């Protein structure tokens, strides 16, 4: 049987996305550390405007979890490195299970999951290597929401886009998701009928 799956919905492409996200994340972090610290490793506190004050680069080290939350507050009995190791292992297994459970026709959700995984690995490398994460992308936000968005990195961007793809997939691929649900309902109905007959 011929496989008509598009290249962007095949595992080799998904593996390439994960590898690209990790490499891009780590290279940009190496650049940020080199650019915004002196020879002694001290902060230069320099800010580079990219789009005026709307988007700029500046170096920030995040020693906590997402949005600078502290793992010590969640599980004070675990050292931070062990906390991040355990949570990353659990997250990786959960994402792998989710990826396998997604219908192969739902290319947006599948791509979203691999982007989340790639971004998560990028930040995990930082935490295992330095016990903190390198952030350097600083964006302004409308003042009625917040002064500025928390500084982030390329890995965070992959995670954010990945989550958006998973959430938007049922909207963008509405007909496909409806078809998948109908097929699932028919399959479950047949299983129930077979169980009734056998009993």
Residues 184 and 178: their CA atoms lie apart, in Å, by 10
Q: Find the catalytic residue in 38, 135, 143, 192.
A: 135
Question: Which position has the token pair 């302004």?
Answer: 140
Q: Give long-range contacts, CB 8 A cutoff, 24+ apart: 176-183.
A: 176/105, 176/106, 177/106, 180/103, 180/105, 180/106
Helices (H), the chain: 11-36, 71-74, 80-101, 107-130, 154-172, 174-198
Residues 155 and 123: their CA atoms lie apart, in Å, by 6
**SS3 category, 63:** coil
Report CA-CA distances (Å) from 127 to 8, 65, 80, 134: 30, 10, 9, 9
Note if 135 is an active site residue. yes
Note if 106 is an active site residue. no
Q: Find the catalytic residue in 25, 126, 138, 156.
A: 156
Q: What residues act catalytically?
A: 135, 156
């Amino acid at each position: 049987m011929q496989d008509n799956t598009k290249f962007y919905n095949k595992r080799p492409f998904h593996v390439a996305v994960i590898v690209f996200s990790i490499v891009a994340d780590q290279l940009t972090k190496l650049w940020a550390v080199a650019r915004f610290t002196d020879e002694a490793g001290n902060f230069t506190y320099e800010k580079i405007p990219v789009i005026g004050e709307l988007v700029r680069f500046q170096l920030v080290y995040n020693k906590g979890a997402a949005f600078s939350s502290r793992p010590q507050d969640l599980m004070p009995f675990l050292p931070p490195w062990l906390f991040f190791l355990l949570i990353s292992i659990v997250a990786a297994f959960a994402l792998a299970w989710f990826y396998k459970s997604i219908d192969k026709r739902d290319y947006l959700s599948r791509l979203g999951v691999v982007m989340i995984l790639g971004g998560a690995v990028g930040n995990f490398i930082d935490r295992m290597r330095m016990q903190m994460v390198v952030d350097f992308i600083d964006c302004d936000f409308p003042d009625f929401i917040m002064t500025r968005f928390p500084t982030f990195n390329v890995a965070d961007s992959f995670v954010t886009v990945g989550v958006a793809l998973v959430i938007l997939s049922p909207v963008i691929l509405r007909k496909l998701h409806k078809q998948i649900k109908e097929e699932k309902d028919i399959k479950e109905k047949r299983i129930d009928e077979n169980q009734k007959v056998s009993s």
